[in-house]
Structure formats: C-alpha cells, structure tokens
C-alpha cells in the first residue's frame, strides 16, 4: 500500500513479466516444432524409389479383377433348404386355412 501512495508501484508489472515468460515459452515451442518439421522433411527427402528394382508392368496389371464368387458348401446349402422347408410347413400349419381362402377368391 505504501508503494501505491508513493506512485512508484506499477500495477501491470507482474502482468508484463507473465506475458514475457509466455512469449518466451511460445518462441521455444515454435523453434522445437520447426526443428522437428525440418528433420522430418530431411527424412522424407532421403526416401526415394529405386526405378530399376520395380517389378515389370505386365506382372502388376495382369491380375484381372473379375466377379466375386461365393463358395457355398453342400452342408450349408442343405441347412438353408431344410430351414426354409420347416418355415414353410410351420407357416402353412398356422395360416393354412387363411391362405387357401385368399387363393380361392
């Protein structure tokens, strides 16, 4: 309080110090990020494709992409037909008379 009365007290001095610390940290972070980016760019530049080591074009483009074929085994096919048959028999036993009345109209 005595400093405020004297007029020598700067209220924003702490804020200025804090801002300068933050800016200093930001500068170091920016420098670190630029250094990492430069190092990454150097690594990317070092990776080159050896043209002489590639396989022939004929081998790459020779594979034809045809239709997708599904292979269903006989036991699976049999299971599907038996299941459909059982569903049909149950449906007829439940709604049989109603189905026949609709068909005869």
Residue 105 pLDDT level (bands cut at 50, 70, 90): confident
In angstroms, the CA 43 to CA 53 distance is 21
Return the sign of the alpha-carbon dihedral for residues 27, 29, 30, 34.
Answer: positive
For 23-70, the pLDDT digits (tens) are 777 778 878 888 888 777 776 666 666 777 777 888 878 777 777 778
Q: Residue length, the chain?
A: 105
Kindly tell me if the per-residue pLDDT of 85 is higher than 90: yes
pLDDT of residue 77: 94
Residue 78 is predicted with a pLDDT of 96
């Amino acid at each position: 309080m005595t400093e405020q009365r004297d007029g020598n007290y700067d209220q924003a001095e702490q804020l200025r110090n804090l801002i300068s610390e933050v800016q200093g940290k930001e500068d170091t972070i920016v420098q670190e990020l630029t250094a990492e980016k430069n190092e990454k760019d150097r690594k990317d530049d070092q990776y080159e494709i050896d043209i002489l080591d590639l396989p022939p074009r004929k081998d790459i483009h020779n594979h034809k992409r045809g239709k997708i074929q599904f292979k269903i085994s006989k036991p699976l096919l049999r299971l599907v037909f038996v299941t459909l048959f059982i569903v049909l028999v149950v449906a007829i036993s439940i709604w049989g008379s109603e189905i026949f009345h609709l068909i005869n109209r």
